[in-house]
Amino acid sequence: MAAAWTAAAAVTGLWLLLLLALAAATRNPDVEAGPATANLAPQSPAVVDLITGGWRLCDEAASATLLDLAARGVVGVEEIGPELSLVRTRGEPGGLRPYERLVYDHVRALAVDGVVATGALAEGSRDLGRWWKSFRRKVIAEAREQGLSRARWSRAHAALLTVAAALPAAAIGVAANISDKDHEAGIGAAVVSFAGLLALMGRLNGERGTAEGARAAAHWLGVRAHLGTTGRFAEQPAASVTIWGRHLAYAAALGLAPRAVTSLPVSTPADDSRAWSDYGGMWHVVDVRYPSRLLWGRPPGSVVVRVLAAGWFAGFFAWMLLVAASAFDVWPRGLVVPAALLAGLAVAGPPILFALSDLTGPVTVEGQIVRLRRFRDGGKGGDNARWTYWCAIDEGRAPEVRAREVRAMCLGGDMWEPLREGDRVRAEAGRRTGWIRRIEVIEGSRLRNAASYDDTGEHLVDAPENLGEVPVLPDPAPLRSTDQTRPYRHRRHE
């Protein structure tokens, strides 16, 4: 029996050696930065981001694409103030690349009167994970079309590894059969181990550079060296694209323009506490607070029960302390019970009044949902998890100012589920307890039916998320620049 397992381990080890040998043979080419040059080659900023980032797409690729669209006049970026810039769409552009169209459609979906605040680019109803995946696939498809990139495993590699994986799987199956003859676990063990080995093979797959890609990357690192010495791109805002043109877009893709990139959060998740709302027709910031749920965000009845219990405990402890104090003649005996009652009342009284006021006279809140969030509130994982459902409504108060603050309120999960950010709603709620009793959608979010993207059937690229280097090997292809290290590159999937 032991011999069978030893043989299975040996065969598996051989397969792993084969995998590592192929991984080492197909690692990314070394790239030496070329001489500094101002010559912009025909690749787009997104493709440049891919090939100069070790064939892994970085977060700034989407922002760099938007900057490129601005440099080409498809959109405009205008600075209103240090903390407010606008992206303005200009007619219907033609001839966009698929991933540029994806970025443009996102901007257009958000735009009100053709305008969206740069900070609001993180908003929208898209599934960011799927959006990024689609964007990435489209960029990779173009890089492959240009001969700059290819999949790590060729068909021959994949076939060889798959066929070879059958051997250790069979060996494991036989060993399992020998060790447990009663249950005939061999077939199951073989299937599971075969699937595991294929999963490992898939996990190590990714993009790798071609010789052409390495030459292009070397050229772009030369451009990077030039841009790094000629313009102070790190401090340039996105609106400076009007002056710098495509150079700023490439600087962003090469990690030289962090300020411009962070001001265009195209591929960044929306902030829980800082929302951008277009309620009233103009984009503005809404600071969202999620108060502690000690007495907030609970049905008024529940608040009454909680504070009654809290009041009882406060009164009881006060009574115990005062009884002890009166035993030492520090507190008059006659005032023990009244003082304890007063302590209990002081704790429970005001919240009860608030809760009763909300119970008897809820107010109508009308506005636009700016944040819908669900936070874990105890319980174990899976079906037993307990959640708190939050809804922040921008009521459009003080329309003359940009900054507004709203306190998110809680509601039941069944009411929360069909809502969407951007919906205009009318809610019946208690302002003091932060509990929404009833809510109705007056007008669905315009983003519900916004032009979306289609990543099914288009550019079906076998490009798993773990693009790039083999994690179990030392980094074989660091991009070397002659005089600089890359100061700013975001990795999404690491």
Partner 1 sequence: MIPVIVTLAVVAVLVATLVSLYNRLVRGRGAVDNAWAQIDVQLKRRHDLVPNLVETVKGYAAHERATLEAVVTARSRAIGAQGPAEQAAAENMLSGALKSLFAVAEAHPALKASGNFAELQQELATTENRIAYSRQYYNDTVLTYNNAIQTVPANIVAGMTGFTPREYFRAPGEERGPVQVGF
Name the maximum alpha-carbon separation found in the chain. 94
Nearer to partner 1, 8 or 286 (CB): 286
Nearer to partner 1, 306 or 402 (CB): 402
Nearer to partner 1, 285 or 322 (CB): 285
Residue 81 interacts with partner 1 (CB under 8 A): yes or no:
yes
Residue 94 interacts with partner 1 (CB under 8 A): yes or no:
no
Burial environment of residue 398 by CB neighbours within 10 A (0 to 12, 13 to 18, 19 or more): exposed
Closest separation between CB of residue 112 and partner 1, Å?
Answer: 9
Q: How far is CA 214 from CA 30, 221, 344, 363, 474, in A?
A: 7, 10, 75, 64, 19
Closest separation between CB of residue 243 and partner 1, Å?
Answer: 16
Nearer to partner 1, 32 or 83 (CB): 83
Closest separation between CB of residue 161 and partner 1, Å?
Answer: 57
**H-helix or E-strand containing 287?**
strand 284-289
Site for partner 1 in 358-397 (CB under 8 A): 396
For partner 1 (CB under 8 A), the number of binding residues is 23
Nearer to partner 1, 402 or 493 (CB): 402
Site for partner 1 in 244-303 (CB under 8 A): 280-284
Instruction: Specify which residues 405 forms β-bridges with.
Output: 287
Site for partner 1 in 137-196 (CB under 8 A): none
Nearer to partner 1, 114 or 245 (CB): 114
Instruction: Specify which residues 373 forms β-bridges with.
Output: 390
Joined tokens for residue 454: 């289609």
Among 92, 182, 329, 400, binds partner 1 (CB under 8 A): 400
Among 16, 41, 78, 337, binds partner 1 (CB under 8 A): 78
Binding span for partner 1 by CB under 8 A among 127-135, 342-350, 401-409, 478-486: 401-409
Closest separation between CB of residue 280 and partner 1, Å?
Answer: 4
Residue 86 dihedral angles phi and psi, to the nearest 5°: -120, 145
Closest separation between CB of residue 457 and partner 1, Å?
Answer: 38
Q: Which residue has the tokens 């609106």?
A: 239
Among 62, 69, 86, 148, binds partner 1 (CB under 8 A): 86
Alpha-carbon distance of 34 to 49, in angstroms, equals 16
Closest separation between CB of residue 430 and partner 1, Å?
Answer: 25
Is the separation of the CB atoms in 488 and 255 below 8 Å? Answer: yes
Residue 401 interacts with partner 1 (CB under 8 A): yes or no:
yes
Nearer to partner 1, 330 or 401 (CB): 401
Residue 440 dihedral angles phi and psi, to the nearest 5°: -135, 145
Is the separation of the CB atoms in 297 and 435 below 8 Å? Answer: yes
Nearer to partner 1, 90 or 289 (CB): 90
Among 455, 41, 21, which Cα is nearest to 246's?
41
Residues 286-308 as b/e (b if ≥16 CB within 10 A, e otherwise) read bebebeeeebbbbbbeebbebbe
Joined tokens for residue 166: 């059958």
Binding span for partner 1 by CB under 8 A among 76-84, 145-153, 188-196, 484-492: 76-84
Closest separation between CB of residue 278 and partner 1, Å?
Answer: 10
Is the separation of the CB atoms in 258 and 488 below 8 Å? Answer: yes
Site for partner 1 in 98-137 (CB under 8 A): 113-115, 117
Among 294, 403, 451, 472, binds partner 1 (CB under 8 A): 403
Residue 487 interacts with partner 1 (CB under 8 A): yes or no:
no
- At 345 the three-state DSSP class reads helix
What DSSP designation does 331 have? S
| DSSP letters spanning 344-366 | HHHHHHHHHHHHHHHHH-PEEEE
Dihedral sign of CA atoms 393, 398, 402, 406 in order? negative
Closest separation between CB of residue 428 and partner 1, Å?
Answer: 24
Is the separation of the CB atoms in 367 and 394 below 8 Å? Answer: yes
Among 203, 274, 373, 402, binds partner 1 (CB under 8 A): 402
Residue 92 interacts with partner 1 (CB under 8 A): yes or no:
no
Joined tokens for residue 188: 């199951």
Closest separation between CB of residue 75 and partner 1, Å?
Answer: 13
Name the residue type at position 429. Answer: A
Please report, as ranges, the residues that interact with partner 1 according to CB under 8 A. 78, 80-84, 86, 88, 113-115, 117, 280-284, 396, 399-403
